[in-house]
Amino acid sequence: MSKIDILVLLFYILGVTAFGVFFYRKSSSAEGFTAANRRLPGWAVGLSIFGTYLSSISFLALPGKSYSANWNALVFSISLPLAAWVAVKWFAPLYRSTQDISAYAYLERRFGVWARLYAMTFYLLTQLARMGTIMFLVALALERLTGWDIQTIIVVSGVLVTFYTVVGGIEAVIWTDVVQALILTVGAVVCALLLLFGMPEGPGQMFAALDNTGKFSLGSFQLIFTEPTFWVVFLYGTVINLQNFGVDQSYVQRYQTARSLKEARRSIWIGALTYVPVSALFLFIGTGLFAYYGAQPELLPEALRAADMGDRIFPHFIVTELPVGITGLMIAALAAAAMSSIDTSINSSATILLTDVYRRFVKREATDAQQMRFLRIATVILGLLGTS
């Protein structure tokens, strides 16, 4: 990495840290820490939802899938508007009417305390596993991009995310996600344009090279349910997205941060409809890489030409082909993709521990100071567990 790239990355890290400090006073109460005092605009909450969807796994996996195969993965995104419509019509009004920060308090009222504890327990276990997976995968990618030690990357990333989450609460998480979503999108657009205009004979060569390759295929439309056909992936995406919008604490908590039901509904639409074209953009990058290195095979090392190396092509392109400064931006974008998912998991998990364990079973009449102490301790512990 050049000194300019390192400066870009350091500027991003300092900016994220400053965000956490800026929102410290606004998150000095339990209501502020977990719900941002229910006063955020829908567009900001929506971009935070989008940022949570586009993790570092998607950042690397989507180009890898379209490079190695086709656009079948886009079908998952296409199912999002249907799930968003259901969430806007039923889920958001339901949770907003209860005013519960916890997604699982409603389960207790309907089915008993066992349902609440069951859902809460498996949510926490899932988030811990998710944090560790994202942290490890992004560290692997950053190691290849920067040459830095993987353990150092994990520790620094974990400490940074935990710091601004414990200091600024959900408001710092959401506004940081907004910035990170913009960095991600700008970085992806820049890469797509560089690929398009970096073809030896111009943009037209890319589409000519991809003609009749099936790279833009969404999968078979046959009614076969033993293969990842269009209908299988669409059904899978619909179920997973309904689960996200309907019972995932990370999403339900965001509905409560919006300043009104109208803004909560708007946030769902913004999150869903932003992810669809951006995921298509990342798939286009993978397809573009296929054409780019197909036209210039000498630029691709022999070790990366195997069929199962799709996930490594995009990082290789970032390091070797991007101009100075843009490389730093893309590395920051990769870090942003990971952090926007991890900070959400940490804050939402700490919130669940407060509402479903501490206030429910340990200290029902806890003061605001006691709740804040618990939230900050829980956030630090969750950050350490996710990092380790």
Instruction: Tell me the H-state helices in 39-149.
Output: 42-53, 56-68, 74-78, 80-86, 92-98, 105-111, 113-146
DSSP code of 323? P
Greatest mean pLDDT among 56-60, 184-188, 366-370 lies in 366-370
Query: For all residues of the chain together, what is the average pLDDT?
Result: 90
The pLDDT of residue 51 is: 83
- Cβ(188)–Cβ(278) under 8 Å? yes
Sign of CA dihedral 162, 270, 71, 200: negative
Q: Report which of 187, 188, 178, 186 is spatially closest to residue 66, judged by C-alpha positions.
A: 188
More confidently predicted of 46 and 365:
46
Q: What is the DSSP string of 277-314?
A: HHHHHHHHHHHHHHHHHHH-GGGS-GGG-SGGGHHHHH
Give the pLDDT confidence of 109-149 residue by residue, as tens digits: 999 999 999 999 999 999 999 898 888 888 888 887 788 88
The mean per-residue pLDDT over the stretch 275-303 comes to 92
What is residue 216's three-state secondary structure? coil
Q: pLDDT at position 45, please? A: 96
Q: Do residues 48 and 174 touch, judged by C-beta distance below 8 A?
A: yes
Q: Please state the separation of Cα 303 from the chain's center in Å.
A: 30
Is residue 135 assigned to a domain? yes
CA distance 103 to 246: 8
CA dist., res. 218 & res. 220, Å (int): 7
3-state class of 366 per DSSP?
A: coil
Please report the pLDDT score of residue 104 as a whole number. 95
In a domain, 236, yes or no: no
Res. 57: pLDDT tops 70:
no
Residue 137 lies in a domain: yes
The residue assigned the tokens 């990092």 is: 387
Judged against a pLDDT cut of 90, whether residue 181 lies above it is answered with no
Asked whether residue 228 is assigned to any structural domain, the reply reads no
Residue 233 lies in a domain: no
Q: Which pLDDT band, with edges at 50, 70 and 90, does 56 fall under?
A: low
pLDDT at residue 325 in the model: 84
pLDDT band at 91; cut points 50, 70, 90: very high
Q: Per-residue pLDDT tens for 203-221?
A: 999 999 998 888 999 999 9
222 located within any domain:
no
We report the CATH number of the domain holding residue 65 as 1.20.1730.10
340 vs 347, more confident: 347
Residue 89 in 3-state DSSP?
A: helix
> What pLDDT sits at residue 307?
64
Task: Tokens for 342, please give them.
Answer: 């991890």
Task: Answer yes or no: is 224 within a domain.
Answer: no
Q: How far apart are CA 187 and CA 326, in angstroms?
A: 8
Closest CA to 118 of 129, 110, 132, 108: 108
Number of domains in the chain: 1
So what's the pLDDT on residue 49?
Answer: 92
Could you tell me if residue 239 is inside a domain? no
Instruction: Please check whether residue 371 is in contact with residue 363, taking contact to mean a CB–CB distance below 8 angstroms.
Output: no
171-185, 247-261, 340-354: range with lowest mean pLDDT: 171-185
- For residues 235-260, give the mean pLDDT: 95
Neighbour-count burial of 85, counting CB atoms closer than 10 A to its CB (0-12 exposed, 13-18 middle, 19+ buried):
middle
Tell me the one-letter amino acid at 370: Q
Q: By residue range, what is the domain housing residue 156?
A: 3-217+249-387
Q: With CA atoms as reference, report the closest residue to 166 among 356, 342, 41.
A: 342
